[in-house]
């Protein structure tokens, strides 16, 4: 399928890079046409690198080639994301201020728009009128999500997650009704006031001043959980083990390196948390002794290290839990000759004693890093209660949906005020 992807000048434009990558991975051709204003948010080089094609924005960039007509005829479907209030007005009134506007006037392909703007603009009578006009003309509109907007405001107008937009695009291409927004599956504010403590990343256990024993965990899933929980109203603290990623506003962050440091910080904050999620990958072993100097190469070309087990932090948190506290663990698994991933996860769930265990297969191209993954959510008895597949933010919301359901059944819908806990920080 040949997808023409229009990008307009909203701050949510950065999310659209993931949409391009997903469409390319699914085998489609993507032609990005950014508006001139959108290039203030994401540069042309990014779109060209992701799509492998030029990303024109001006009508006169290729005047002899009549670019707007050529591109309008090549497209099987058109997606505009994010679609700003100004661009929706332009489209509704048949204006052609730039290359993208001209293409949309000329194309016969189905058009899908994903609006993103401040709540006030979304609820404005002019915007509502423009959307009605577009819908009456057959334009497919993906309803915006509810959550954190630019600045400190929260409300409807947020660009939905890329996976949801791609699913809606595929539905429109088939002539099907596009799915409702992700907010149809969970409610904004369903975690209002709930205090979350989330570990993320992977510990490093030093061998000498230069070397360490570590793992491939990047912290993407833990950070996605933190962002998703904050969007749903939670107060969030993250203990990050060697994570080199930015974290959103109003989330408290504590950085650590080793399993000892991670255990210390988790124990410090856990008593005041309503929900504790151990998403970090903790090294199972560490050297018994750490050399004060860099270890030199030996004559026989070998190095022997004596190792000892590290603390099972999840098990310790479960043992020390206070009444009413919800605890989740993660189990990164690979199958072997004895059992498959799910079977290993079921056994781990029964051993750990957490309320939920998130089992995720790991390996080449799955699990670690900013890649699509799949999870199975097990209860404390090892029974599967849910499953999900997709990008990290999609998985994060699936996990939080399970948390909400669990806490609702237990009569623990909201958090309570804790002295000293401000915006997720103690």
Which residues are catalytic, by number?
A: 215
Per-residue DSSP letter, 365: T
Residue 369: closest CA among 248, 204, 199, 244: 244
Residue 241: closest CA among 282, 283, 201: 201
Residues in the chain: 426
Residue 380: closest CA among 350, 403, 413: 350
Q: What is the largest CA-CA distance in the chain?
A: 80
Phi (first) and psi of residue 285, to 5 degrees: -135, 155
Are residues 283 and 201 in contact, defined by beta-carbon separation less than 8 angstroms? no
What distance lies between CA 150 and its chain's CA centroid?
17
Strand order in the sheet with 140-141: 29-34, 2-7, 77-83, 111-115, 140-141
3-state secondary structure 87-105: HHHHHHCCCCCCHHHHHHH
Distance CA 287, CA 394 (A): 37
**Buried residues in 373-408 as b, exposed as e (16+ CB within 10 A):** bebbbbbeebeeebebebbbbbbbbbbbbbbbebbe
Are residues 169 and 77 in contact, defined by beta-carbon separation less than 8 angstroms? yes
Containing 111, the helix (H) or strand (E) segment is strand 111-115
Residue 348: closest CA among 314, 397, 391, 393: 314
């Amino acid at each position: 399928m040949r997808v023409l992807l229009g990008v307009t000048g909203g701050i949510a434009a950065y999310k659209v890079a993931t949409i391009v990558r997903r469409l390319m991975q699914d085998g489609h051709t993507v032609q990005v046409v950014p508006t001139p204003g959108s290039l203030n948010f994401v540069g042309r080089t990014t779109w060209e690198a992701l799509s492998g094609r030029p990303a024109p924005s001006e009508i006169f960039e290729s005047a002899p080639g009549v670019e707007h007509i050529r591109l309008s005829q090549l497209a099987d479907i058109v997606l505009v994301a994010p679609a700003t209030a100004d661009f929706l007005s332009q489209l509704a009134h048949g204006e052609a201020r730039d290359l993208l506007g001209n293409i949309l006037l000329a194309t016969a392909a189905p058009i899908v728009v994903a609006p993103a703007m401040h709540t006030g603009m979304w609820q404005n009578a002019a915007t509502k009128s423009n959307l009605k006009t577009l819908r009456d003309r057959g334009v497919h509109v993906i309803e915006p999500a509810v959550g954190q907007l630019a600045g400190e405001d929260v409300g409807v107008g947020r660009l939905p997650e890329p996976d949801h937009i791609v699913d809606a695009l595929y539905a429109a291409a088939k002539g099907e009704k596009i799915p409702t927004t992700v907010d149809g599956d969970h409610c904004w504010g369903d975690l209002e006031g709930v205090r979350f403590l989330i570990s993320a990343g992977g510990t490093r256990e030093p061998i000498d001043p230069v070397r360490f024993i570590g793992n491939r965990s990047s912290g993407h899933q833990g950070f996605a959980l933190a962002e998703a929980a904050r969007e749903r109203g939670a107060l969030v603290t993250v203990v990050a083990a060697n994570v080199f990623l930015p974290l959103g506003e109003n989330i408290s962050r504590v950085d650590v390196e080793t399993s000892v440091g991670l255990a210390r910080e988790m124990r410090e904050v856990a008593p005041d948390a309503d929900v504790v999620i151990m998403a970090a990958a903790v090294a199972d072993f560490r050297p018994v002794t750490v050399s004060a100097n860099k270890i030199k190469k030996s004559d026989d070309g070998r190095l022997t290290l004596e190792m000892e087990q590290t603390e099972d932090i999840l098990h310790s948190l479960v043992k020390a839990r206070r009444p009413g506290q919800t605890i989740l663990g993660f189990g990164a698994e690979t199958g072997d000759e004895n059992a498959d991933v799910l079977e290993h996860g079921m056994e781990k769930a029964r051993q750990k004693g957490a309320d939920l265990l998130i089992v995720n297969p790991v390996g080449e191209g799955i699990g670690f890093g900013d890649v699509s993954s799949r999870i199975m959510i097990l209860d404390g008895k090892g029974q599967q209660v849910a499953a999900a597949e997709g990008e990290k933010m999609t998985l994060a919301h699936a996990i939080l949906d399970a948390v909400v359901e669990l806490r609702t059944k237990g009569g623990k819908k909201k958090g309570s005020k804790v002295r000293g806990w401000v915006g997720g920080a103690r």
